[in-house]
């Protein structure tokens, strides 16, 4: 479904990734990008400043996310890989889109609404701590998408609404000027992505502090894996694999044969928690061995990554420039 299509993926620089991010977001994004005829992949750094105000922290997060994607197999010769802030045309396009963005869209956008709800729960004024960057971010996201004549935006459920907003804004502009100035994007919902559980059994998430990190050293990863919750059943007691959290996490990463081996061993009372934790650890370390080396390499040779991002921006910019020209010609008259 992605051949002959332009696919665009945006990632927020949120810092060091965990196993859940890798299996739930990064791997599918890279795979989809590889299948697309054109793939734009960018780091949404202007989105990030709404929340992250420390330049050093932000810089580090951008560095980590860039190295992560490259380490995990993003191919910069196929995917146009760039930083949003290196394409200033996106911001000019955003300004034009503002004139066609009903304020009501922003009121209804869920990221803003979630903040309002939180404020209400805490008994604070609705807009406490909410900046205009957060409030208007669906318009910037629309410009990210529309600047590159995107056909498909792969998203999780939470981002569907934003792609629809982009479509609506583009439709309004096209209708007003009576021509197809902007290409209408579609979202592609990544429905079959499994949620990877964390060491405490809840969804693995930075905010729960239950993660298995991806690129830390073996010792740190081992510590995380050995902290996965278990009960006090003895080793030789036959267990339903589904009742063992280590098995639930293993599902996300093991081959069918490996999974069967663990399931049989648990059912037959042959494998205890120590055994299955070691199996999980081996599978994780095997999976990340090479990417981790690459990650460490890129982190230590960031100038190479910077050069790739510059090259990506040099490819992306002319496309956004053309879109901007089309829009300006229509808006201001030729
Ligand atoms: P976190 O919950 O750790 O803050 P983010 O919200 O930054 O993670 O998620 C970044 C991406 O990783 C999102 O696309 C999200 O769907 C995916 N993701 C995060 N946690 C998991 C998980 N436990 N299982 C599968 N995918 C996940
Ligand atoms: N809003 C997206 C998120 O929170 C990131 C993003 C910004 C994006 N611009 C985009 C995603 C354009 C896809 C297309 O994850």
pLDDT of residue 3: 77
Ligand 2 pocket residue status of 87, Cβ below 6 Å:
no
pLDDT of residue 4: 87
Instruction: Give pLDDT tens digits for 70-123.
Output: 999 999 999 999 999 999 999 999 999 999 999 999 999 998 999 999 999 999
Length reported for the chain = 334
Percent of the chain exceeding pLDDT 90 equals 91
CA–centroid distance, 13 to ligand 2, in Å, is: 11
Task: Indicate if the alpha-carbon torsion angle 236, 241, 245, 246 is positive or negative.
Answer: positive
In this structure, which residue's CA is closest to atom 11 in ligand 2? 10
Tell me, what DSSP letter sits at residue 262?
H
Tell me, what DSSP letter sits at residue 203?
B
Instruction: Note the helical H segments in 99-188.
Output: 103-108, 110-121, 132-135, 137-146, 160-177
Average pLDDT score over residue span 31-53:
96
Q: Which ligand is nearest to the CA of 7?
A: 2
CB atoms within 10 A of CB 9: 26
Residue 14: band (very low, low, confident or very high) from pLDDT cuts 50, 70, 90: confident
Instruction: Please say if the pLDDT value at position 193 is more than 80.
Output: no
To test the ligand 1 pocket, which listed residue (20, 206, 213) has its Cβ within 8 A of the most ligand atoms?
20
Residue 158: band (very low, low, confident or very high) from pLDDT cuts 50, 70, 90: confident
Q: Which atom of ligand 2 is nearest to the CA of 154?
A: 13
Percent of the chain exceeding pLDDT 70 equals 99
CA–centroid distance, 42 to ligand 2, in Å, is: 9
Q: Which ligand is nearest to the CA of 48?
A: 2
Q: Which atom of ligand 2 is nearest to the CA of 144?
A: 12
Q: Among 188, 145, 153, 187, which Cα is nearest to 169's?
A: 145
Q: What is the C-alpha radius of gyration for the chain, rounded to an integer number of angstroms?
A: 22
pLDDT of residue 192: 65
Paired tokens of 137: 């971010």
In this structure, which residue's CA is closest to atom 6 in ligand 1? 205
The string over 230-258, giving b where at least 16 C-beta atoms fall within 10 Å of a residue's C-beta and e elsewhere, is: eeeeeeeeebebeebbbbbbbbbbbeeee
CB atoms within 10 A of CB 130: 17
Average pLDDT over the chain, rounded to whole?
95
Average pLDDT score over residue span 294-322:
98
Ligand 1 pocket residue status of 205, Cβ below 6 Å:
yes
Instruction: Please say if the pLDDT value at position 307 is more than 90.
Output: yes
pLDDT of residue 227: 96
CA–centroid distance, 217 to ligand 1, in Å, is: 21
Instruction: Please say if the pLDDT value at position 34 is more than 90.
Output: yes
pLDDT of residue 109: 94
To test the ligand 2 pocket, which listed residue (29, 84, 139, 159) has its Cβ within 8 A of the most ligand atoms?
159
Let me know: does 227 contact 199? Beta carbons within 8 Å: yes
Ligand 1 pocket residue status of 251, Cβ below 6 Å:
no
Instruction: Please say if the pLDDT value at position 27 is more than 80.
Output: yes
Ligand 1 pocket residue status of 156, Cβ below 6 Å:
yes
Q: How far apart, in whole angstroms, are the C-alpha atoms of residue 90 and residue 40? A: 14
């Amino acid at each position: 479904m992605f051949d002959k299509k332009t696919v665009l993926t945006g990632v927020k620089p949120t810092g060091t990734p965990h196993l859940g991010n890798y299996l739930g977001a990064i791997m599918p994004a890279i795979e989809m990008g590889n299948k697309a005829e054109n793939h734009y992949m960018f780091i949404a750094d202007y989105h990030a400043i709404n929340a992250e105000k420390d330049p050093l922290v932000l810089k580090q997060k951008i560095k980590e996310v860039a190295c992560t994607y490259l380490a995990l197999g993003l191919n910069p010769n196929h995917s146009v890989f760039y930083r949003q802030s290196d394409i200033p045309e996106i911001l000019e396009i955003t300004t034009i889109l503002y004139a066609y963005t009903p304020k009501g869209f922003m009121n209804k956008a869920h990221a803003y609404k979630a903040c309002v709800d939180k404020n209400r729960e805490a008994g604070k004024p609705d807009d406490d701590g909410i900046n205009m960057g957060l409030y208007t971010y669906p318009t910037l996201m629309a410009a990210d998408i529309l600047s590159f004549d995107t056909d498909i935006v792969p998203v999780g459920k939470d981002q569907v609404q934003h792609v629809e907003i982009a479509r609506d804004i583009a439709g309004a502009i096209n209708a007003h000027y009576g021509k197809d100035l902007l290409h209408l994007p579609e979202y592609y919902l990544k429905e079959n992505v499994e949620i990877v559980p964390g060491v405490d059994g809840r969804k693995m998430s930075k905010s729960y502090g239950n993660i298995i990190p991806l690129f830390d050293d073996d010792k740190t990863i081992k510590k995380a894996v050995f902290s996965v919750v278990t009960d006090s059943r003895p080793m030789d007691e036959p267990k339903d694999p589904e009742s063992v959290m280590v098995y639930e996490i293993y599902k996300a990463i093991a081959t069918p044969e490996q999974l069967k081996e663990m399931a049989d061993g648990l059912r037959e009372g042959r494998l205890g928690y120590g055994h299955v934790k070691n199996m999980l650890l081996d599978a994780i370390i095997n999976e990340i061995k090479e990417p981790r080396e690459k990650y460490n390499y890129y982190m230590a040779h960031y100038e190479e990554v910077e050069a790739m991002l510059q090259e990506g921006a040099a490819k992306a910019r002319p496309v956004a420039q053309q879109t901007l020209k089309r829009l300006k010609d229509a808006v201001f008259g030729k």
